């Protein structure tokens, strides 16, 4: 009969393999050199939200919320952000697959161009959209003359601007999930006679669904809060292009209390949606 030492028992606890570290021991072992910056980072993120809640005009909130323009801007924001996310899904998932699963010259350059809106100032993005899709733009002139489609300063222009700034979030998330997924499942489907499109639709897409969900939520949140590209490319017309961020900016100049109220509404919507979808999009982590 063989004897087991305490170290062996810790290394092989029964049939389950190596024992996972005790969470309580990990918590007790957090070094102060990491804990202090973590707490400062948390305070840096939470303090502005606390300031918004403390300085909110709670007594005047019902009157502020009764303004039809508040709900008009909120409805437009939710509609355009959802439409932009749909556009991002249709275009971004195949683009992420192209970057993750294929080899071609210039792939690194293409990846850099795809992620460029992440670091590009939103106002510059709006100017670029005007030069490309405006009435005298590279593609906008052709859209206007051939189909009579004019995108700038329209609700469709808001969707285009939001999709432009939000797509990199989905592409990065889906591409990372694709690279982590085992390609042997796709190869097995191909050996069974499935086409590449069928393998993607029936095998790959279910595998990367958590990454797609995570990217879609991030893209939606980014589209909901977009300001610079929207006001540059689509303008600020109530009922047509004035989203909640634009309404906050306009109210801040004339009525700061109304701006705080609008910010609270936008904050509440964002927190509610992200909290409701948290279990789905964090599953990709």
Tens digit of pLDDT at every position of the chain (285 positions): 445 554 454 445 445 555 555 555 555 667 778 888 988 999 998 898 888 888 888 888 888 778 788 888 889 999 999 999 999 999 999 999 889 888 888 888 998 999 999 888 999 999 999 999 988 889 989 988 888 888 999 999 999 999 999 999 999 999 988 888 777 777 787 777 777 778 777 888 888 888 898 899 889 989 998 999 999 999 999 889 999 999 888 888 888 888 888 888 888 887 887 776 665 555 544
Using alpha carbons, select from 178, 175, 199 the residue that is nearest to residue 187. Answer: 199
3-state secondary structure of 161: helix
Q: How close are the terminal C-alpha atoms of the chain, in Å? A: 44
SS3 assignment, position 153? coil
State the angle between helix axes of 107-119 and 155-180 in degrees (0 to 180), rounded to the nearest 10. 130
Which residue in the block uniquely carries the two structure tokens 């509609």?
Answer: 79
Provide the pLDDT for residue 253: 84
Q: What angle do CA 204, 84, 206 make, to 5 degrees?
A: 15
> What separation in angstroms does the CA of 33 have from each of 38, 39, 45, 46?
9, 11, 19, 21
- Residue 170's pLDDT is 94
Predicted pLDDT of residue 1? 47
Please count the helices (runs of H) and the strands (runs of E) in the chain.
Answer: 16, 0
Specify whether the CB–CB gap between 154 and 189 falls below 8 A. Answer: no
Q: Can you give the pLDDT at residue 104? A: 84
pLDDT value of position 9: 47
Q: What is the distance between the alpha carbons of residues 212 and 219, in angstroms, rounded to a whole number?
A: 10
Contact between 168 and 118 under an 8 Å Cβ cutoff? The reply is yes
DSSP state of 239: T
Q: CB 66: neighbour CB atoms within 10 A?
A: 9
Report d(CA 89, CA 167) in Å as an integer: 8
Q: pTM value?
A: 0.80
Per-residue pLDDT at 85? 96
State residue 152's pLDDT score.
Answer: 92
Domains defined along the chain, listed by start: 63-284 (1.10.3720.10)
In order, the DSSP letters of 6-71 are HHHHHH--TTS-SPPPPHHHHHHT--HHHHHHHHHHHHHHHHHHHHHHHTS-GGGHHHHHT-HHHH
pLDDT in the model for residue 28: 61
| Three-class DSSP category at 273 | helix
């Amino acid at each position: 009969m063989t004897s087991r030492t305490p170290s062996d028992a810790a290394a092989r606890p029964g049939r389950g393999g190596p024992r996972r570290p005790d969470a309580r021991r990990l918590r007790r072992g957090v070094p102060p050199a990491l804990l202090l910056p973590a707490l400062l980072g948390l305070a840096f993120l939470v303090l502005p939200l606390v300031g918004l809640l403390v300085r909110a005009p709670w007594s005047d909130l019902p009157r502020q919320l009764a303004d039809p323009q508040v709900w008009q801007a909120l409805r437009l924001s939710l509609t355009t952000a959802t439409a932009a996310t749909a556009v991002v899904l249709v275009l971004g998932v195949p683009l992420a697959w192209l970057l993750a699963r294929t080899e071609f010259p210039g792939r690194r350059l293409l990846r850099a161009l795809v992620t460029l809106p992440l670091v590009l100032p939103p106002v510059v993005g709006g100017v670029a959209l005007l030069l490309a899709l405006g009435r005298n733009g590279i593609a906008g002139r052709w859209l206007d003359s051939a189909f009579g489609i004019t995108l700038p300063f329209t609700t469709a222009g808001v969707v285009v601007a939001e999709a432009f700034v939000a797509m990199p979030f989905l592409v990065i998330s889906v591409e990372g999930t694709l690279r982590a997924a085992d390609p042997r499942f796709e190869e097995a489907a191909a050996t069974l006679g499935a086409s590449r499109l069928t393998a993607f639709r029936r095998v790959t897409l279910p595998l990367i669904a958590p990454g797609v969900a995570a990217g879609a939520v991030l893209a939606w949140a980014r589209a909901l809060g977009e300001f610079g590209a929207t006001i540059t490319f689509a303008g600020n017309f109530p009922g047509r292009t004035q989203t909640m961020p634009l309404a906050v900016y306009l109210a801040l100049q004339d009525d700061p209390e109304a701006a705080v109220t609008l910010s609270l509404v936008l904050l509440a919507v964002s927190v509610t949606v992200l909290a409701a979808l948290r279990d789905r999009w964090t599953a990709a982590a």
